[in-house]
Structure 1
Amino acid sequence: MNRIQRVVMTGLFAGVLGGAPASWAGAAKTQFPVVFAHGMGGFDDLLGYDYWGNDFGTFVGEACESRFDTNCNSDLDPGQRAFVAQVAAFQSSEVRGLDLADDIEGFMATTGVSKVSIIGHSQGGIDARKAARVLRERRGATSVAVLASVSSPHRGSPVAKYILDQKPGVTSVIAALARYYGDSVYAPGNDAYAAAKQLVFNDYSSSDGVVTGMKAFNEKYPVSSNYAERYVSLITAQFGGNVNPALYLLKEFLFDIDGNGYCVGDGDNDGAAGCGDGVRNEADDDGMVGINSQQMGRRLRYHDAFFGFDSVTDDASIPTLNDLNAPSRLQSTSMSSVVPQDHVDVVGVGPDAFDEPEFYAALIHYISLHD
């Protein structure tokens, strides 16, 4: 429930019952700072919206210095430290992950901290795995306490393969992404073709001299306690008519991966109908990524409290996924703990009624219990 709606409802109940408005506890301060890693199309905005903000542009990691502050996240401890990293909007995670490691290392040197935790949305959750390994190799010690991914395509996205399959190749890939993300595709340092190839499961082109794709990336940057002490993931999926209007733009040149029957079990994550064992759940994707691609490490459960503070906990019913290339049927198909939002509702793209500040405050509180 949106914080404004909750405040109104709390006030109404307090008035009826003749008591003071109910209060709720916020997130505890994490031991180490939290780094936010953006997905494809970021950094500071996505589709014209603040990437790591609510619908009004307030950064979800901005703690309030006093109770009179308004442009901040009131669910955070006043001492909470958070940092937004910036990497190329359109690049492979090999490149973006190295950029992320550089950003984090500079931040750690400035602040004097020995570790950070990372929250990565979409491709940012993939970049974070490379960054964690690079930081370990550079610093000689594990430098990431908790690595949390949100809506990340750890085993690829059918949207990426669909774009790449369009002819005449590179030109159409860049043009398609430009129609969705705007002219930022053409900014210096971007390589939209490499970005798309990163998010296909298998190596997309065996003749280009470069091995790409999530299968090879997962082997190189695995879930390992050498690189991060705890790996966790939150999974999103669309339900009914809750798809953000921004994602409808994709239908001009892509397809509805939910309607096409996003299958699991064939290993290519290409979204084609009639694949593998044909297993498919209702609402088994978030408009961009299937649930069979999103679990990494422990699956988390998000509880949106009507009154009081939201919570994030481990989902003990789903085993921890350590081998990202070999999820079980349960890990690939279970709708347990799926957050009923589409791919961009959990970041700043509006309009929607999702309470991003409290969602990330709840995740930060979870991190505080494990860092």
Structure 2
Amino acid sequence: MRTNNYFSVLGIMLVFAACSNEENANSIGQFEPLVETTTMNLSTIDYSNLSNILSNVTGEGKTVTVKSGKDSWEIQIYKDERTKISGMDDAVLFNGRVQDSTYLTLASDYATIRLERNGEAKSFVAYKDPGKMKEVALFYQNEYSKITRTLPNEEIVSFIYDTQTRSSNPNITCVKLNTQKLLKYSDSNKISSNLDYIDTLSNYRTNESVSRVVPPEPMPVYIICLIKAGIQLLPNEISWQMQDAATALYDIDQTYISLDFKLLQSDFTPSSNDANTTLTEFRDKLRTISDFEEYHEDIFFLLQYEAWDNSVAGLAYVNVFSASNPRGNFICSGLAATSAIFPCTLAHELGHILGAEHVDDSSDLMYYKSELARSRLHKNETNRNNILNNVIWDYPEN
């Protein structure tokens, strides 16, 4: 497996071509806050406010005061310096402490914050361009009005408006999702994970007879995420999926695990919306692309918005990735739905690829029933050990 110039070939691919971000004048590294911002008001939050807060956050952390109505509290925000996202997205990830239950993203064109407070989970999505912000806000409003008819729509989706202008029709600056109610009243709790895996060779393991030395620094696990042809996905929802995957793995280990995501648009269209058929055809397609031949040992995901016809939000082969003893042949492939009503789908399916199996524990990421109940973390010790053993890059002693 490669450690250098990994994605050099991807820029010239014809079948899976990356969408250029040249229209974005700024990169994350170029953000310079005009004023040191330490207060985040959830009633008036917008892209500018979030970018000012996050632009100079490092791995050492920053204290931020969060205000919501009369409620006020402090959180610590840390830059995730172990995860890279490139291709069609340039998001940088940020996390709060475990007790803060706060997750943030900052890209050149959008910023988000997801938090849990007083038993409620809420998400805030702000786009830099006013036109794009309005488009995203109306999409959420229309999309979730169809699946939450038992509640007034404003209890699920609400807008924050620009208060700095006197216009009678001010711009929308942020959309707020009540994630807790969205998941409760949507159909996501009817999706089962019981059939979301394919066990190809349960006893596949690395060669344990070889004496090995673990390197002093982690080497990244590369994950190529390809968007199914003919659909558009919200980049903020994709980065949420990536962030949840990273959160789950870094909870297992912060020494030997790092993730490098590449997001690309594909021209792949499966013959049906059946998950098993799609995964088989996706893997077959990857095998036909000569530019991908040397990357056949790495992890590939096909992304779409909704669940598949057989009522699964994702599908993957189980226990097929080993950094030190790879199987290759694109066996480390999976599917994942990215909609906000299917949280942690990528994290769950990535867990399967890395060796995690289902558990009957609703507080575990690998819970086999509803996405609504599961958490962001792997808690089963067997799964945690399997993942760590498969991800560590180790080498034979000389």
TM-score tier by shorter-chain length is under 0.3
The structure whose residues are more often strand, as a share, is 2
Structure number with larger C-alpha Rg: 2
TM-score by length of 1: 0.27
TM-score by length of 2: 0.25
Larger RCO (alpha carbons 8 Å, 6+ apart): 1
The structure whose residues are more often helix, as a share, is 1
